[in-house]
Every structure is written in structure tokens, then in C-alpha cells.
Amino acid sequence: MSFLKNNKSSFILLASMFIGAGVGAVWGKGALVMQPLADLFLNLLYCCVVPMIFVSIVASISKMESMQKLGRIIGIMMLIFVVTQVFASVYMVGISAISSPGKGAIIQMTEQVKDLKSNMNILAMFTVNDFTLLWSRKNLMALIIAGIMVGTALLSMGERGKNLARLFDEASEMVMHVVNYVMKIAPIGLGVLFATLIGEYGSQFTGPLAQALIVYCIAAVVYYFFSNTLFAYIGAGMEGVKRYYRYCIPPTLTSLGTCSSAATIPLSLEAADKCGISNDVRDLCIPLGANLHKDGACLITILKIAFLCNVLGINFMDPVIIFKAVVCATLASMVMGAIPAGGYVGELFVISLFGFPPATIPVMVLIGTITDAPATAINVTGDLSSAFIVERYINGKDWYKKIAA
């Protein structure tokens, strides 16, 4: 009974997900009439994201022991992000080698994508040209950089910055309370989101793409449990695994319903806090991970490459192709969605590296759109489980013993 009581909110969210998915499957595109309710919940979450990221990062850094610790956290975190994304890419290469997605499929690739634009100035995602633009969820990477700079400035001020640092700490706690208020309507919001999601895209799981989509969904589920279990275990042994699965359900379901890493940041921060992740690690890993750490996007990119190679008669298992695919997936996933028209970055990387015809872009866009939900869930939950590893290397392998579960 204590298990049910402790996880009551998670079971309610699971129930709302299944009910919403059932309504969407039966009602089809008619479920889109409920989109305003879905938008209401999503907009409330988005409004929490920007202030939460900024104040939590500033508060966390300003309370750190030294600048050396800040540099160490960021260095270890970025190394783990790259390693896990390469791991995800290699995993999907193996799945694609076994399943051969797209083999035997005949697709007419004559449709053109209109207004295909993408700013490949990757460095531009770290800044904006007007202060007011910092407060948009479309510029989260620039906001994170600003938060790091302000937090670092307060840290360097020593005692003179303590009062202002305390203000940011209290503001961070206040925003978390606001998020808790928003989550009161989460069962309704997520139920409607799943209804509209299944209603709009459920019919797409047929035709030539069906095999590739089914392969991806199965591979994504396996990767979700395997990778997160592995990362949590590396970070804190079986205790880490228990804590992870005790608190990961809300961010998982929210990411599946919203298809947005940004909208899930408040829930991920709360889950990390409940898992015992220190503020220093939590407030850097979760926001930065939402922008730079996307294992799910790596899986999608590899699937797109394997699918098109099979359709176009190219040997996907050529070692050169595999190497280029892993590099492409890792690099594209770190910048897609974080720069203008970032959704097309993956497609442009693929075309540039492999010489696929431009007519393949609609196929890649379709694959990416339909698989967005599970990919986002892997992106988001990977940030949380990776934080366990960062925590271990920052605060020692027994860090979790210092905090009551």
C-alpha cells in the first residue's frame, strides 16, 4: 500500500495517458478539437521554463565552492553527453543492421519541402542580438549562457554577492512552487495531449514506413530501459536505479505528450531533486542537457540514414558509411532544435555527408515527425540518468548515502 501511496501521482498520469491514447485511437483526427486544452497546459509549462532555468542556474553557481568546481562539472557533463550519444548511435546502427528498415520499400520521392531554411551558424545559438530576446524559450541556449555568466559573476564577488545570491535561491524555490500548481492539471493536460497526438499521427503507422517506425519504437523502448538503468547504476548502484524509476515517470510522460524537451525541464528538475541530485549538478545538467544532449535524436538520425540507404540500394554496413552515420548523428543531435530552423539540421547534415538527393527530405521529415514523441522521452530522461553519473564523479561514489531516499 505504501508503494501505491508514494506513487499515486505517477499512476494517475499513466491512467490519463492510456485514456487519452484510447480516445485518440477511436476518435481519430476529431480529437484535435481538444487542442485548446492541450495548449493551455503546454503554455503554462512554457511560461515556467524561462524563469526557472535562469534563476536556478544563477542560484546554483553562486552557491558553489569555487570556479574550479564549476569548470569540473561542465567538463565531466559534456564528456558524458558525447559518450552517451555515441553509445546511442552505435546501438541504433546494430538495430538497423539486424532489421534493415526500408529494405524492399518503394517510395516516390517527388514531393518538395517549401521554405527549407536553416541557419548553420552554430555559434549564433549561444547569443542573441537584443537583451529582450533572452526571455524567449526559442533562445534557451543563450539564456543558459547568460545564467552561467551572472552566476559566475556573483560567485566571484564573494561575500558582497551573498544577498543577491540568496534572492535568486528564493526565486528558484518560488518557481518550483508555481510548477507544482501547474501540475495539478497535468492529468487532464497530458490526457488531451495524448488524444490529439494519437488522433493526428496514428494513421501514419501504415504503408512503406511502417516497418521502420515499428523498429524505431521497439528500439526506443529497449534503449529507454537499458540506457537509463545502466546510467543510474553507474551513478549510484541499485539504489540509483530504484530512485530513478521512482521519480522518472512524470517527466517521461510529459515529454511523450508534449514532444518538447523545454516543456519538460521543470519536471526533470523536480525529479532530479527528489532523486537526491545536488543543486550544483541538477541545475546545469538538466537545462544544458535539454539543448545539447539528445540520445533519442541520435537514434532517429541513424534510422533515417539506414532507411534511405536501403531504399536507394546503398550498403549501410560499409564501415565508412557507419562511421559517417555515427559522427553525423552525434553532431546533428547537439545542435538541432537549438538554432534557427534547427529541426532541419539533421536532414541537411545527412544530405551533406551522404549525398542523398534533396527529394529525400520529405521522407526524413515524416520519420522525424512521427517518432518525435519517443525520441523526446529518451532525450529528456537521458539528462536525468546522466546526472547520476556526473554526481558520482563530482561528489563521490557514495553521494546518495548522504541523502535520505
The set of residues, in sequence order, having a beta carbon less than 8 Å from that of 236 and lying 6+ positions away, is 243, 388, 391, 392, 397, 399, 400
Contact 85, 375 (CB under 8 A): no
**Model pTM score:** 0.78
Residue 333 structural domain:
2-402
Distance CA 278, CA 283 (A): 8
Contacts of 327 (CB under 8 A, 6+ apart): 353
| pLDDT score at 360 | 76
Number of domains comprising the chain: 1
Q: At what angle do helices 279-292 and 372-395 cross, to 10 degrees?
A: 150
Q: What is the pLDDT of residue 124?
A: 66
Which has the closest alpha carbon to 382: 231, 274, 276?
Answer: 231
Determine the pLDDT at residue 202.
Answer: 65
Give the model's pLDDT for residue 201: 66
| Phi (first) and psi of residue 182, to 5 degrees | -60, -40
Query: What DSSP assignment string belongs to 300-353?
Result: HHHHHHHHHHHHTT--TT-HHHHHHHHHHHHHHHHHTTTSTTGGGHHHHHHHHH
CATH number of 380's domain: 1.10.3860.10
pLDDT of residue 118: 46
Q: What is the pLDDT of residue 76?
A: 92
Name all contacts of 6-14 with Cβ < 8 Å and 24+ positions apart.
6/246, 7/246, 7/249, 9/250, 10/249, 10/250, 12/187, 13/186, 13/187, 13/190, 13/249, 13/250, 13/253, 14/249, 14/253
The tens place of each residue's pLDDT in the chain, 405 residues long, gives 555 555 677 678 778 878 988 888 888 888 888 888 888 888 888 888 888 889 988 988 888 877 888 888 989 999 999 999 999 999 999 998 888 776 655 555 544 444 444 445 556 667 888 888 888 877 887 888 899 899 999 988 888 888 998 999 899 889 888 888 888 888 888 888 888 877 876 665 555 567 777 888 899 999 999 999 999 999 999 999 999 999 999 999 888 888 888 888 888 999 999 999 988 899 889 988 888 889 999 998 998 898 888 888 888 888 989 998 998 888 888 766 554 445 556 677 787 778 888 767 767 877 877 788 888 899 999 999 999 999 999 888 888 877 544
What is the number of helices (H) and of strands (E) in the chain? Answer: 16, 0
Predicted pLDDT at 405:
45
CA dist 177 and 53 (Å) reads 14
Burial class (CB in 10 A: 0-12, 13-18, 19+), 71: exposed
* Nearest-angstrom CA–CA distance, 233 and 339: 33
pLDDT tens-digit series, residues 150-195 = 999 998 888 888 899 899 989 988 988 888 888 888 888 888 888 8
